[in-house]
Every structure is written in structure tokens, then in C-alpha cells.
Chains A and B, each alone.
Chain A
Amino acid sequence: MDIHPYLEFVPRALARTAFLTVTSLAIGLVLGLLLGLARVGPVKFLRRAATVYVEVVRGIPLFVLILYIYYGLGSFIGQFWVASPYIYATSAFGLCYAAYIAEIFRAGFQSLDRGQTEAARALGLSRRQAMRHVLLPQAFRNILPALGNEGVALLKDTSLASVVTIAELTQSGKAYASLSYRFFEVWTVVALCYLALTIPLTWGVRKLEARLGVRSAPHTA
């Protein structure tokens, strides 16, 4: 096995996959949290809007969403702004994962004991303060494993960015395989590269979980 070509493209491709994952996940988490808050919030219009968003986005295959945003919306936007394919890809991933993450946050908030909100409000905390200091930290701790799963799923889904010409791991592998005809070798390397990203991610989430959960495990009164 000649490792030189791999040294050429693998580090760059790995970095692109990691970059796509981190930026998309950031968008997905922020937007997902906002949508999740809207879904459990007091404003009926926002509740409805968030529900519609989640249902619509979850009903569309991610592959189609990417094509739709890149080729569909891209053909309009491209008339006055030439955006990088990364913009289209991270938007598509972020918008899609926001819908799933919103559902996770919603379930996280709804699974909390009502007594927590009541105790916070009874002390004079505003709705917002109660959310920020009492509900969100507890919900976050509870949903961390689920968020970790989304992170891993998103990382693997970034392989779809190959359709918008980004030379991330999968796209680079495809290019080199068709050049070298060493299919088994190339895809073995690509698969190992994905594992090299997913395993530390999973491990990191577990560590964080353990750190947040050790002493403050919810009691059953």
C-alpha cells in the first residue's frame, strides 16, 4: 500500500468533515433549542410555527433537502451572491438536525418534574430565569446522551456533502478510488477515518455525562 496519496488528501478531507460537523451541529443546537423552547413556551403562535417546522423538515429526506437548498434555492441566491458550497451544506444539515434536536429538547423539558418550575416561580424567579437556571441545566443533562447520538449521526450524514462538490472524506475517497482502482483499500481507509472521528466524539459525550451526573442524580422523593 502506497500511503503517499493518502497523506495528500486524508488530512484535508478529515478536517472538512470535522468542520462540516461542528458548524452544522452548532446551528442545529442553537436553532433546535430555540424551536424546543418555542414548543413548550406560552406563545401559541410560536408553538404552532415550531411544530409545523419540525413536522415538515422531519418529513423530507436530508439528501433531498440538500439538493433543494443547493440547486433549488441556490439558483435564486446565485443570481446576486455566489455563496460557498459550505454555506449550503451547513445550512441544510443545521436546518434538518434542528428539527430532531428540537424534539429532544421538548421531550427533555416535558420530562422534568412540574414541581421544579413551581418551586422556581414560587421563589420569585421569572419564567426566563426559571428556564435558564433551573429547567435548562436539568433538561440538558438528561438529554445529553440523545444529543450525542445526533452528533454522531450528523457526522456520518456529512458524507452527503459530496453532492455539493465538497471534497470531504467520502467525496475524496470516491475521487481517489476511481483514479487508483484500489476500491477495497480506499474505502477501508475512509471507514477508519469516520471511526477515528465518531469514537472520540462518543467517548467525549460519555465523559461529560459522567461529570454532570455523578452527584446530582435526580432523586425519587
Chain B
Amino acid sequence: MSAAPLIRLKGLRKSLGGKEILRGIDLDVARGEVLCVIGPSGSGKSTLVRCINFLEIPDQGTVEFDGAVVHPDESLDQHRARVGMVFQRFNLFPHLSVLDNLTLAPTQVLGLSPDQAASRARSLLDRVGLADRERSFPAEMSGGQQQRVAIARALAMQPQVMLFDEVTSALDPELVGEVLAVMKGLAREGMTMLVVTHQMKFAREVGHRVVFLEGGVVAEEGKPEDVLERPKSGRLKEFLGHFS
């Protein structure tokens, strides 16, 4: 943790629909760190994540990646290629088979040959436990399977960091576990991860650090056991109360 952080957010501000959603965020994510972001609905968690890969362009402040400021008017595609993202609603490409979902970006963006991309895709499908489903289409799979494909699709770009935005919130309860297991595996292998989640157990067990976002600012942060078990502010206590 002594080296420069992989991601450094400085004074990030963003308004949407005339309302200031992010009101000055300073946050570092170290290489290999699993940072969990919690907070009430509307606190700006998704907006924060989307600012990191510039699906939303910040109004003010900077995003530094690997020590260099990312400028939104240049090289955004390059930046996005090294930042993996997984969405709450999977967003798989429904007209493509599972294999094609995984090979599209590596062939188009990274210039991999179809064979290289396919063999990379197959080993990732194996890793998320879906080796036998490469010919399936998204509509033929369960939510949990689709989300695992979505994780594999992001990993196929060999990103340096993975962003997860409430990736289990759209799943039936019995399917949550299989997705969390894949994420746990990633964390164990040292992937840098920023995980927006309501799964407090996951944050407690897998997270290295937890950030509590409230009203567009970082209201509390620290080790999972401190933040989750010894909350300082009344708001965080109240928020955590909903989960126990």
C-alpha cells in the first residue's frame, strides 16, 4: 500500500438533473485492494463508480489512474479498456452468444485474433463455472449465470481494476451466492476491486476497506470491522440497522 494508488479521486463533483449528486469526493484505491462502498439509495454510489470509467463525466475534480490524470476529451476508450465494469442488470448483448459476448471487445478493441480471444474467453468461462455454456444466448440463462458471464466479459479485457455496481441486487436470493463466490475468487487472486454492495457479510469478509457514502460525500471510512461494527455517526448506525 506504500506505492502510488491505482486510482485516486480528487475533489470529484457531479450534478445530474440539476441536483448535485457527488459533492467533493476524495478517495484512493490501492493496487490489489478490495474497497467496498455502502450507502443509502440516492447517495451517489452508482454515480461515483460511473465517474471512474467516465460513463458520467465529472463536473469538477480529477480521476487519476496509475499516477496520471485521465482527460475526458482524449483516450477515453483506452482508459475504459483497462477498467472493467459489471452492472446491476448484467447488460449482456442479447443478440450474441456467450462466447461472442466475451470476444467482441478483445477482438475489436485490443486487436486479438478470433482464436486468441476465443481461448481467453473459454478459460474465463471455465473460471466462472460456465465452460459448457459458450454457445448459449443470454436469454437462455438464469440471472446468476448471466451475471457470471458479465464478469467474465469484463475480465476478458484483462482490466487492472474491476468496478461492481450492486451486481447481486437484481438476482433472486438463491442465485446471489454463486456470483459472490466468483468475486471472492477474484479478490483472492489479488484483483483490485471497487464494490458497491448491500451485502454486508461480503464487505466484512472480503473487503479490505469500507466507505460509507452519504449525501454525495464520504461520511465514514475504515477497516470493515470498524466501519460495520463500530460506526461513529448516527446516520451510519441507522443505515446498518436496516441490515441486521
Contacts and interface: CB of A to CB of B under 8 A. Distances in A.
Interface of A: 113, 115-116, 118-126, 129, 133-134, 137-138, 141, 212, 215-219, 221
Contact of A118 (B78, B91, B108, B146): B91
Nearest to A139: B95
A124 B80 contact: yes
Nearest to A114: B91
B55 A215 contact: no
A217 B139 contact: yes
Interface stretch (B19-27, B82-90, B180-188, B197-205): B82-90
A134 B137 CA distance: 14
Given A219-B138, A221-B170, A123 B94 contact: no
Main SS of the interface on chain A? helix
A120 B89 CA distance: 14
A51 B83 CA distance: 37
Nearest to B108: A129
A110 B53 CA distance: 23
B55 to A, nearest CB: 6
Contacts of B80: 121-124
B55 A123 contact: no
Interface in B106-160: 108-109, 137-140, 143, 146, 150, 153-154, 157
A122 B85 contact: yes
Contacts of B53: 122
B239 interface: no
Contact of A115 (B78, B91, B104, B109): B91
User: Interface of chain B, helix or strand or loop or mixed?
Assistant: mixed
B139 A219 contact: yes
Interface of B: 53, 55, 77-78, 80-81, 83-85, 87, 89-96, 104-105, 108-109, 137-140, 143, 146, 150, 153-154, 157, 170
Given A134-B93, A218-B94, A218-B139, 6 more contacts: A115-B91, A120-B105, A123-B81, A124-B80, A217-B139, A221-B146
Q: Which 3 A-B pairs have the closest CB atoms?
A: A124-B81, A119-B91, A123-B105
A118 B109 contact: no
Contact of B105 (A124, A212, A216, A218): A124
Contacts of A116: 91, 93
A126 B32 CA distance: 28
Given A133-B104, A138-B94, A217-B94, A126 B77 contact: yes
A102 B87 CA distance: 31
